[in-house]
């Protein structure tokens, strides 16, 4: 009888260990599958963000901004000389920047010296013949806008200025 009890213990021990082995194997397989799926999703979302990152920037820049328009006047008018057929002409331009939202207005006021530098560089490189025509003034305004946006982009991480307005334009 002792032999029969020992045999019963051995027989019943095998199915329990097999059940444990199957249970641990199934848990391990589920765990490995979950880890693999998570790693795939994390790695593929980074690749997709890198590929579509440029598209998002273009879409964000082309999307119309919403919010209240604020106008930030530059503290001083821009005075510079331009050569014109052997003589020098004095040009004075008063500028205001249009931004959307009070946060951008505060941000612009914080970066006034950087904006002044970009605008003065753009204006001093202008051609006096172009500035004599309305189309030339519009071209200068667009060039100034691009230069200001490109100057502020690395500092602020976005294009803050929506429009540049000439509120005064004098050539002598």
Q: What does the pLDDT look like over 11-56, one tens digit per residue?
A: 555 566 788 888 888 888 887 887 878 777 777 755 444 444 444 4
Output the pLDDT for position 37.
Answer: 82
Q: What percent of the chain has pLDDT over 70?
A: 78
**58-67, 152-161, 163-172, range with the lowest pLDDT:** 58-67
Token pair for residue 79?
A: 């005075």
Residue 8's pLDDT band (boundaries 50, 70, 90)?
low
Residue 85 has pLDDT above 50, yes or no: yes
Q: Which residue has the tokens 């329990």?
A: 16
Which of the four pLDDT bands, split at 50, 70 and 90, describes residue 10?
A: low
Our CA angle for 141, 145, 150, nearest 5°, is: 150
Average pLDDT (91-118) is 90
* Statement: the pTM of the whole predicted model exceeds 0.85: no
Residue 153 class from Cβ within 10 Å (0-12 exposed, 13-18 middle, 19+ buried)? Answer: middle
pLDDT the model gives residue 44: 73
Compute the mean pLDDT over every residue in the chain, rounded to the nearest whole number.
80
What percentage of the chain exceeds 90 in pLDDT? 34
């Amino acid at each position: 009888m002792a032999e029969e009890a020992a045999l019963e213990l051995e027989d019943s021990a095998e199915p329990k260990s097999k059940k444990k082995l199957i249970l641990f194997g199934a848990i391990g397989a589920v765990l490995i599958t979950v880890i693999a799926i998570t790693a795939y999703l994390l790695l593929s979302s980074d690749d997709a963000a890198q590929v579509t990152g440029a598209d998002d920037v273009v879409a964000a820049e082309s999307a119309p901004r919403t919010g209240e328009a604020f106008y930030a006047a530059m503290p001083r008018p821009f005075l510079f000389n331009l050569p014109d057929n052997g003589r020098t002409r004095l040009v004075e331009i008063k500028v205001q920047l249009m931004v959307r939202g009070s946060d951008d207005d505060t941000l612009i006021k914080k970066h006034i010296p950087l904006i002044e530098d970009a605008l003065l560089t753009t204006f001093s490189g202008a051609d006096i013949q172009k500035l004599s025509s309305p189309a030339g003034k519009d071209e200068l305004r667009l060039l100034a806008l691009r230069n200001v946006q490109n100057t502020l982009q690395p500092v602020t991480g976005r294009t803050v200025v929506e429009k540049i307005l000439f509120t005064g334009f004098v050539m002598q």
